[in-house]
Structure 1
Amino acid sequence: MESHEELERGLKNRHVQLISIGGAIGTGLFLGSGKTIQLTGPSILLSYAITGGIIFLIMRALGELMLSNLNYHSFLDFIADYLGKKAAFVTGWTYWFCWIAIAMADLTATGMYVRYWLPNVPQWIPEIIALAILLGLNLVAVGLFGEMEFWFALVKVIAIIALIIVGAVMIFMHFQTSAGPVQISNLWSHGGFFPKGAHGFALSFQMATFAFCGVELVGLIGGETSDPKTVLPKAIDNIPIRIILFYLGSLFVIMTIYPWSSLSADRSPFVQVFSEIGVIAAASIVNLVVLSSAMSACNSAIYSTSRMARSLAQEGSAPRSFAKLTRHRVPGNALVFSTLVIFIAVLLNFFVPSQIFTLISSIATICFIFIWGMITWTHMRYRKTNPELVAKSTFKLHLYPYANYLIFAFLAFVLFVLALAPDTREALIFSPLWFILLLVIYHFKSKSKKPESNEILMDSDIKH
């Protein structure tokens, strides 16, 4: 079924720029970076730089595909064009599942963060309130989604910039902390730059990859901007600067202020740094930041799952009602459906053991690796089958096809690293069951319809 209704192009340049920043800054940076540094040491800087470089290549491929046809509203559209409906079905529902799992985790975290200030309030109450608010704002207009994400991202950006400024002043003044003097040599004078050896350095790629899950959301957002040809390239090309500033900058400052070995794995380094200079409310400030980060992830999940459900409906892979737009030109039925699934998942989280929930979240992360691989593969098909569009393109992935091969090699390496740790190894074993389930569903769905002569579109069938 092909819907002729168009999504509202209500996102402004400032929305997309801040959303693309927010997509590259996860809660893990604020809460989990202490544990990450303890497991890896200063070499985490190098793993983030390498991973960020690969993510940039994936985003260039995504941007080139999105701008090759402005009728594309999500990467599912071009996957259906170049790899066929079966690939689009599996990819679309996998991406939907990725964000549902992220929403499950972050909505639960939202309740926990609110209880930091209101310990007597049951955890489910702030979760329901947060979910209702986010659904309401997403139903009204895409511009309100953009506005919420803009302010959520701004809170995170201000916190990181404040950390970097405070750190720079402490370095310049040779500040004395409880762990000793602040000096750049703290990066290598406590066991070297690779204190955990090759094994520790390899494991850090697992954490670095987790940190960038969701950055491809810019590709979905691009379909709802008023000027995608200008906004999308700018958002993608600024990714390296953001990685250097926000990840490398903040971690560099933290490990310069404190020797990596003296950082607590159970306490946020941000809290430690701000407490050191006498900010009494440091813990509350960081709690506010991680609350905004969790709400941001939940907001993004509601947005992305609804758009993916709509794209699936347009391809005939989901109920037709999901393609219907409200008078505000947002996919209302898809929004409500995704939100209800997220709500059920939160209810189940109270009864399902935490190990199972961790397993589901890990499977979702592995699924993100699958999504990035599909985008890269689709880009290669596009380059091979549409030389005339490639010639006219002003935004390209450089060093094709070697950049594509490099992406595939990196993703394969990360899967290998996931096999090294027991908790992620289980997810790696169970992940194929999700894809088998989708293929079985697609098989029976296809049998109930007129069989298709060829699932993978041939070159002559590619849409221009």
Structure 2
Amino acid sequence: MQKYDAVYPIDRPDVAIEEKLKRNLSNRHIQLIAIGGAIGTGLFMGSGKTISLAGPSILFVYMIIGVMLFFVMRAMGELLLSNLNYRSFIDFSADLLGPWAGFFTGWTYWFCWVVTGVADVIAISAYMQFWFPELAPWIPSVLCVLLLLGLNLLTVKLFGEIEFWFALIKIIAIVALVGTGLFMIVTGFTSPSGSVASLHHLWDDGGMFPMGISGFFAGFQIAVFAFVGIELVGTTAAETKDPEKNLPRAINSIPVRIIIFYVFSLIAIMSVTPWRSVVANKSPFVELFMLAGIPAAAALINFVVLSSASSSANSGVFSTSRMLFGLARGKLAPKAFGQLSSSAVPANGLLFSCLCLLVGALLVYVVPDLIEAFTLITTVSAVLFMFVWSMILASYIVYRKKRPALHEKSLYKMPGGVIMCYVCLAFFAFVLVLLSLEADTRMALMATPLWFVWLALGYFGVFRKEIAERRPGMH
């Protein structure tokens, strides 16, 4: 079997030391990056809407999505560890499915994070209005992008450190919420409306499925967006110390994280506040802390959500630059993106991604009518994340067919193997059907093919010739 060189040729003797990404992320960093990726801003701000749509059945929605994405992450983990020359899912998709797959996956993932990053930067501006209502909204947008650019230009270790603290803030907030909710349940806390905190609220009002199967299905449309970024641990593989030990550890802890951070926090919220009393357009986190008599709850949660959005924007800046680096090294993007700075950071990719963030953020303020289109594009981004997850699964299916010997040798096999890949793919198809049922998400589904048309034009018109001229060692 021919040895595979990564899309960007790393760990080869003819590649100069300064051209290599450094393995500077420790287990502490990778664990918290994985946790940060699994906890989206949607949990803090969007959980009110999901509860009002699905009632207590939303617990099963989060668990089902979490289980499916755990298998996607396990497939990704086995693939990345089957060949340490694979530095991200661009590499194994390009190797196993063909160069077109590396091109489509890499550029789609870049686009996903740029759009998500624009959303995060605008969200940061909105959250800053809480403390500084007179401040022009474009100022925090620009400052945020410049700050993230400056920090990410220094070293990858600094990225890991920033992400570590951002994720820690989110974890502390959720643990505090679960702890406060548990205390209120145990002490039989009575709210001003006369409701006594109790686990019985989960099934006393219409059972676990009070809104029927349609309400249960409606929960998937929003909840799936909360998991965007869970695959980020796969883009850090190139810069992780001891990947054979740290990558499995981070992936294996995903189920525990889903239960603690999503399920327990939602149980706490719905036990203290009966689910019919949860307001769709308010953060139930704020409401619970307010009920507990913590007057600074709004400011506290505003700080947590601000850090959550900053964490997501920071992850976006990191991952987009690494995607561009990988694509450039595989001749799937302009050559300039494949150069590293003296700190072993892909500076050109960082600058380009941050420029796109700035243009996107400023455009929304310059043309207010873009808000509706912007909502559409962020939904497109979430649909495209499902495309990336599906490409990971498709790569695994081909890997099992083409490389059975590597699978046999693997110490980190995906549970359920190929069968679970098909189950997950069927689940994503099911979610797409659900997205077609609502007017706004249906528009996003209809707009999504335009991105792939644009990519196809770029691939066949510009980069295909470059790929054909690659040296024989690459496939």
Distance, in Å, in 2 between the alignment partners of 1:264 and 1:365 is: 24
- Write the distance in 1 (CA, Å) between the matches of 2:467 and 2:277: 65
The residue that corresponds to 1:177 in the other structure is 191
Note the C-alpha offset of 1:127. Answer: 1.3
Partners of 2:286 and 2:450 in 1: CA distance = 41
Cα pair distance change 1:272/1:162, threshold 3 Å = same
1: CA distance between counterparts of 2:469 and 2:144? 44
Q: Match of 2:124? A: 110
1:50-449 aligned within 5 A: 50-179=64-193, 180-350=195-365, 351=367, 352-446=369-463, 449=466
Where 1:201 maps in the other structure, the secondary structure is helix
Question: Residue 178 of structure 1: CA displacement?
Answer: 2.5
Q: Which residue of 1 aligns with 2:60?
A: 46
Secondary structure of the corresponding residue to residue 236 of structure 2 = helix
Q: Distance in 2 between matches of 1:142 and 1:130?
A: 18
* Cα deviation 1:391-415 (Å, max 9, x = unaligned): 1110011112111111111000000
Letter in 2 for 1:337: F
2:178–2:264 contact (8 Å) kept in structure 1: yes
Distance 2:261 2:136 in 1: 34
Shift of 1:79: 0.7
CA distance, structure 1, for counterparts of residue 466 and residue 312 of structure 2: 37
Partner of 2:4: none
Per-residue deviation, 1:8: 1.2
Query: 2:401, 2:221 → 1: CA distance?
Result: 32
Structure 1 residue ranges (4+ consecutive) displaced by more than 4 angstroms after TM superposition: 446-453, 460-463
Deviations 1:297-343 (A, max 9, x none): 10000000000001110111111111111111110111111111111
Distance in 2 (alpha carbons) for counterparts of 1:2 and 1:335: 20
Q: Which moved more, 1:234-243 or 1:441-450?
A: 441-450
The separation in 2 between residues aligned to 1:447 and 1:218, in whole angstroms, is 29
Aligned AA (1:234) = R
Q: Distance in 2 between matches of 1:297 and 1:406?
A: 29
Please state how far the C-alpha of 1:462 moved relative to its aligned partner: 8.6
* Aligned-partner Cα distance in 1 for 2:39–2:191: 27
Separation in 2, partners of 1:10, 1:332: 17
The whole-number CA distance in structure 2 between the counterparts of 1:417 and 1:167 is 32
Secondary structure at the counterpart of residue 444 of structure 2: helix
Match of residue 456 from structure 1: none
Cα contact 1:131–1:339 (8 A) shared by 2:
yes
Residue 273 of structure 1 and its aligned partner are, at CA, apart by 0.9
Aligned counterparts of 2:273 and 2:438: Cα–Cα separation in 1: 27
State the distance in 1 between where 2:259 and 2:458 align.
43
User: What's the CA shift for 1:388?
Assistant: 1.6
Question: In structure 1, what residue type is equivalent to 2:285?
Answer: F
TM-score, normalised relative to structure 1? 0.96
Query: What CA distance in whole angstroms lies between the structure 2 residues aligned with 1:135 and 1:155?
Result: 21
Q: CA deviation at 1:443?
A: 1.1
CA displacement at 1:2 relative to structure 2 = 4.2
> Percent sequence identity over matched residues?
49
**CA displacement at 1:90 relative to structure 2:** 1.1
- Which moves more between the two structures, 231-240 or 86-95? 86-95
Q: How far is 1:449 from its partner?
A: 5.0
CA offset at residue 65 of structure 1?
Answer: 0.6
Return the letter of the residue paired with 1:328: S
SS of structure 1 residue aligned to 2:130: helix
| Inter-partner Cα distance in structure 2 for 1:271 and 1:449 | 53
Q: CA deviation at 1:278?
A: 1.1
2:325 partner letter: R
Q: Distance in 1 between matches of 2:85 and 2:315?
A: 22
Question: CA separation of 1:451/1:78 partners in 2, compared to 1, >3 Å: closer, same or farther?
Answer: closer
Do the aligned partners of residues 446 and 10 (structure 1) sit closer, same or farther apart at CA in structure 2, a change above 3 Å counting?
A: closer
**Shift of residue 277 of structure 1?**
1.5
Q: In structure 2, what is the Cα distance between the partners aligned to 1:132 and 1:315?
A: 29
Aligned partner of 1:307: which letter? Answer: R
CA contact (8 A) 2:39 2:226 kept: yes
